[in-house]
Structure 1
Amino acid sequence: MDENRTIDPSCMDQPPVAIDIILQLDIFGIILYSVLTFMATISMLVYIEECWYIYQKVPAQKKSAIIWVNGAAPVIGTMSCLGMWIPRATMFTDMTSACYFAIVVFKFLVLMIEEVGGDEAFLQRAGKNKLRISTGPCCCCCPCLPHVPITRRSLFLLKLGSFQFALLKVVFTVLSIALWTNGNFEMADMRITGASIWINPGLGVLTIIALWPVAIMFMHLRTTLRSLKIIPKYAMYQLVLVLSQLQSAIINILALRGAIACTPPYSSRARGYLMSQQLLILEMFVITLVTRMLYRRQYDPLPENEPNDENTKIILSAENSDVA
């Protein structure tokens, strides 16, 4: 029986072109695609309105960082919508979203520093304190690591750690596209001779290195910036990271292994991409609305220096050891 079973040619073919999708949509498909497209459009309109508010109400030094961070969810949602309608462009839409988020990682670090008042104000407020570097995603299992003094050099290294990802992600994306046009790059090619098996793990390492400085800075400033809702802002930033990177990777791996059934005109892999994009549109729509509420506020100056939890613990432990 298995030998006589035929496989639909579309299950072995490339993703369909946009016109084929439109012609084969049923009533449910029309409603689903219309609702998801509406969500992506509303997300972008909300973001544009938020940019106008930020341009008029926010101090100049914070505008760029806030606009970049706010744009993570609507940009990813819009690119997912484009990939949903044009499946053959999925690689390019995913790379565009990933490049944008790489810049957002660096901009979120800059945003936390600017919320304190900039580099000089941060060094003045926290110059006598120390940074706890035993945090995720690199060293959360190494609590014995020493605390690092806050200096211009350490601040520069933190920024460099995140900036390298924003720069190298764009470089590797351009390289991947160039290799793809030459027939040397394929996302599903896991052979040792394929370019994807070398580029993607390298980008994974760069991602972890870039997330580490952001986590270090957040752990240091979470008490100081609590009144500015930095904890839910950081949670939204992390949620975008998990959904756009980890969730998509899991679905795509399942599709590559054949765990997601082929449904003509979509192959198993193309259907996995489609499911990932449809989920992202819905999730990014919700995150866009939540992010708008978090960032739409009056930007008043911070109060005077406040003790940092981590450094308070260091001081108390030192005093206790002296008494002993």
Structure 2
Amino acid sequence: MNNGSNRSTEQSCPAQPPLAMDIILQLDTFGIILYSLLTFMAAVSMLVFIEECIYIYRKVPNNKKSVIIWVNGAAPVIGAMSCLGMWIPRSTMFTDMTSNCYFAIVVFKFLILMLEEVGGDEVFLKRAGKHQLKISTGPCCCCCLCLPHVAITRRSLFLLKLGSFQFALLKIVFTILSIVLSTNGNFDLNDLTISGAVMWINPIVGILTIIALWPVAILFMHLKVALRTLKIVPKYAMYQLVLILSQLQTAIINILALNRIIPCSPPFSSTARGYMINQQVLILEMFIITLITRMLYRRQYDPLPEEEPDDNENTKMVAIPYSA
């Protein structure tokens, strides 16, 4: 009896996500309260972000304004896009792509933020001139302890920037390509066959993501002590948390939905219901992260103290051995 009822329920679930008006007409009391509360959280997140932008423009030095606003906007933007996807389920692919493109830029901006907190490229190269970079860090090479250390030069700094910038650029390129292919019916998130565009584009984007996260991790490991007074560790933790929730959590929920582990519930199919659950959870999570991020970045932006001549513990970088 249960199997028969499950099959009949699945047959009654439409393949396409419902229209926004269909959702509004079918909301019960609990649904109205839930949707209203989540919409309120998304709106408050954006208002907090706008207020933070005003504070940054008034109080923060010019060289840090742009990067801090970009990094601060990760959680509010994802929350706002999730809210749109919750109310308009058929726009989920586009809202997710918008959020992912924004966060791809944030990955690069966070690397720039750490450099600007030190004082910029020139100050970083001057402070780090006698040190080396340890590149055996996650997510690429955390197990490759035999990798040699790399001297900190203009070239190595350029490569670190390039490693993160390529993701910000290519993610937007692949997003535009995905939208173009979807209009022709070639990009379908439910089509996981080898001939589907999803099976080719998503793994490539995944590899680009890992490559982009590696330079940020390398720079963070070598500056976390120097920037500890600027709360760089909790800032990095919030950046990583947004990454995990917006990428890994979304992937897990989508896989569960595609395998029908998340059952359908009219007017939502299993896939559409998985997207809906993910959007609702993200709104709550991004709201909390927005409030925490506001506390971390709302401070006085004084210059970083000069590094003492032989104090390697101030930056925790590896000193270059000098030959006699």
What's the CA shift for 1:9?
A: 4.4
In structure 2, the CA distance between the partners of 1:266 and 1:229, relative to structure 1 (3 Å rule), is same
2:66 corresponds to: 64
Alignment map for 1:80-99 (pairs within 5 Å):
80-99=82-101
Matching residue within 253, 261, 278 for 1:259: 261
| CA spacing shift, 1:164–1:90, aligned 2, 3 Å | same
Query: Match for 1:216 among 198, 218, 222?
Result: 218
Q: Distance in 1 between matches of 2:315 and 2:9?
A: 64
Q: Determine the structure 1 residue equivalent to 2:177.
A: 175
Contact 1:165/1:210 (CA < 8 Å) preserved in 2?
Answer: yes
Superposed CA deviations along residues 54-96 of structure 1, whole A, max 9, x for unmatched, are 0111000001100000000000000000000000000000000
- Structure 2 match to 1:76: 78
What SS does the aligned partner of 1:143 have?
A: coil
- Report the Cα offset of residue 315 of structure 1: 5.1
Farther-moved stretch of structure 1 (303-312 vs 63-72): 303-312
1:30 matched to 2:36? The reply is no
- Equivalent-residue separation in structure 1 for 2:46 and 2:35 (angstroms): 17
Q: Is the 8 A contact 1:80 1:94 kept in 2?
A: yes
Residue identity (%): 74
Distance between the aligned counterparts of 2:8 and 2:271, measured in 1? 19
Q: Once the two structures are superposed, what CA deviation does each residue of 1:145-193 show, in whole Å capped at 9, x if it has no partner?
A: 1110000000000000000000000000000000000111011111111
TM-score (norm 1): 0.95
TM-fit CA distance, 1:6: 2.8
> 1:7: Cα distance to partner?
3.9
Specify the code of the residue in structure 1 equivalent to 2:117.
E
Q: What residue number does 1:117 align with?
A: 119
Q: Please, which runs of 5 or more residues in structure 2 have no aligned partner? A: none
Matched, 1:45 2:47: yes
Q: Which runs of 5 or more residues in structure 1 are unaligned?
A: none
What is the RMSD computed on CA atoms of the aligned residues?
A: 1.8
Cα distance in structure 2, aligned partners of 1:25 and 1:32: 10
In structure 2, what is the Cα distance between the partners aligned to 1:50 and 1:3?
Answer: 54
1:247 counterpart residue number? 249
Tell me: CA distance 1:101–1:10, structure 2 relative to 1, closer, same or farther (3 Å): farther
**What secondary structure does 2:195 align onto?**
coil
Q: Is it true that 1:229 corresponds to 2:231 in the alignment?
A: yes
* Aligned residue in 1 for 2:156: 154
Q: Against the structure 1 CA distance between its residues 225 and 11, is the aligned structure 2 distance closer, same or farther, given a 3 Å change threshold?
A: same
AA matched with 1:6: S
Aligned partner of 1:189 in structure 2 is 191
Residue 143 (structure 1) shift: 1.2
* Alpha-carbon shift at residue 309 of structure 1 (Å): 4.2
**Does the residue aligned with 1:303 lie in a helix, a strand or coil?**
coil
Which consecutive segments of 4 or more residues in structure 1 shift more than 3 A? 1-5, 7-10, 306-316
Secondary structure at the aligned position of 1:199 is classed as: helix
Other structure's SS at 1:198 match:
helix
Query: 1:134 aligns to what?
Result: 136
Q: 1:312 to 1:190 in 2, by over 3 A?
A: closer
**In the alignment, residue 208 of structure 2 is paired with which amino acid?**
L
CA 1:184–1:221 in 2, change beyond 3 Å: closer, same or farther?
same
1: CA distance between counterparts of 2:288 and 2:68?
A: 18
1:188-244 per-position Cα deviation (integer Å, ceiling 9, x unaligned):
111111101000000000000000000000001001000000000000000000000
Give the aligned partner of residue 14 of structure 1: 16
CA gap 1:314/1:127 in 2 versus in 1, 3 angstroms = closer
- Specify the code of the residue in structure 2 equivalent to 1:86: I
Q: Alpha-carbon deviation of 1:128?
A: 1.2
1-structure distance, mates of 2:78, 2:85: 10
Give the letter aligned to residue 73 of structure 1.
Answer: A
TM-superposed deviation, 1:12: 3.9
